Structure 1
């Protein structure tokens, strides 16, 4: 009974030697790891996927020059595409009338009353005009810099949210040209920048010649400000700073309505774009953006206060 076993063993050893010496024409699909364990060779595609998964788990520290170039190029492309969209004034006016009538149906068409009321307080409306023209960029850039310096492990994911949000907005500008209230024919709104001769806004005056005036839906003032507000709220340590983060998009909403640059529904459109941006980042990084490690190599932060359903793992 022992002889057949010996023959089988000898044959198995010969086959094993043949495979590893390369004399067998077949493809070698296994390799011996130290200790005798067998390791299956991975295809190039599997290797790339493995590296992407590892990068999601332990994000690398962003490179300053690369990020500056990326942000500069992205904003240049955003401005180029936004202003290259045909203005289509007639269609934009029809869309404005449709939005205004819809808001009347919903019982939320109060923008004109707010616009006229705030315009009567000169110092307030002038301040709002400057707010609209400047803080949109200043606060967003400031939050990006803060993320880069203090939360490098979360920077790339949070930046991805912002980029996806803005990309979707460009589609909205093209597919749904919309006249802002201040340019709406027969709407009775006041263009506060023109009335008070406010400096610095691309919405009216000389700046209007280099900016697409009918790119109002969705509102990126709301999309970007809410991104800033949520980022500050979830990542800042001081309570008063977190509260300021929540107040920022609310203040921005009051500004865009008071200055007649947007309808309420434009703000809703901006929020929808932002929600898709967060969803896209979650699918990429397999977790809620702000739960990524604060710094590369650190464990993920489990102390953040977020709704429980946001922490559900996304299956591959």
Structure 2
């Protein structure tokens, strides 16, 4: 009777390392995919490094002027075929109102960053459980945009020769665009498709609309990407089709986040509990094994 009792134990002992290894891997993956409280120092570092990397890669893309202009002509002809080539009319109409176009120049230069960072801070403080998943949407959206910049260089309307567009920054001598005036050497001027002004503003707008409590704040959230669309067209920095590219990139970002977290960011719990200590996690398997024994 000694052999039958020893053999199962030996087989069980031999099977334990594989099951424990598999379980450990699954637990680690589950922990990575489980919403956690964000750490301030890590988020600041991550955002700073990510934006620096994005800017470096975006500006390192070769400025293929001839191809960018050919692509701009193709976009312009496509919009004419669709009967939706309204950029020139909007550009000239808004440019005739000095205070309005100057305001739009500064809007283009500042709110793109200010509002996006503001929404990130608000998420961090008020919706920590949804922060990481929503931030992943933004990061994935921005990352896939780099693919567009590399494979589809596109000149903005204001740089099209004979396009009859007004470069509003140059005319009114404002600093509303990193790609105009003295700042043009600091940014790739032919990275117009997709428009991250639309990708980021729509991310902000949807996040505010989904999570804000006050009705008027939610309405402002929806109006923000609409106003941004008017600005990028009026300042001749983008075609409206560039905005479509930004929307597609954002859709990709939401897809990545949902695939990783298993649901849309806005449906995750608003607040998550503090992470459990390692000792507590290790005690649970021992209690189960003692109960089986």
> What's the TM-score once normalised by structure 2's chain length?
0.89
Q: Deviations over 1:255-274 (max 9, x none)?
A: 00000000010000000000
Matches within 5 A, 1:1-316: 10=1, 14-20=3-9, 22=10, 28-29=14-15, 42-57=19-34, 59-199=35-175, 201-297=177-273
Give the gaps of 5 or more residues in structure 2: 275-293
Q: Higher RCO, 1 or 2 (CA under 8 Å, sep at least 6)?
A: 2
Distance apart, 1:14 and its partner CA: 3.3
Distance apart, 1:41 and its partner CA: 5.7
Distance apart, 1:186 and its partner CA: 1.4
Q: Deviations over 1:40-72 (max 9, x none)?
A: 962534422333225534x11011111111100
Aligned length: 274
Q: What SS does the corresponding residue of 1:77 show, helix, strand or coil? A: helix
Find the counterpart in structure 1 of residue 277 from structure 2.
none
Name the structure with the higher helix share. 2
Distance apart, 1:29 and its partner CA: 1.7
In 2, Cα distance between equivalents of 1:156 and 1:14 = 54
Highest Rg: 1 or 2? 1
Q: Deviations over 1:86-117 (max 9, x none)?
A: 00000000000000000000111000010000
Q: Deviations over 1:131-167 (max 9, x none)?
A: 0000000000000000011111111000100000000
Give the gaps of 5 or more residues in structure 1: 1-9, 31-39, 299-316
Q: Deviations over 1:234-264 (max 9, x none)?
A: 0001100000000000000000000000001
2:37/2:129 contact within 8 Å kept: yes
In 1, Cα distance between equivalents of 2:154 and 2:76 = 11
| Structure 1 residues 194 and 272, CA gap change in structure 2 (3 angstroms) | same
Find the counterpart in structure 2 of residue 309 from structure 1.
none
In 1, Cα distance between equivalents of 2:77 and 2:126 = 46
Q: Which deviates the most, 192-201 or 140-149?
A: 192-201
2:68/2:153 contact within 8 Å kept: yes
> What's the TM-score once normalised by structure 1's chain length?
0.83
In 2, Cα distance between equivalents of 1:282 and 1:91 = 36
Name segments (4+ residues, structure 1) moved above 3 Å. Answer: 54-57
1:19/1:28 contact within 8 Å kept: no
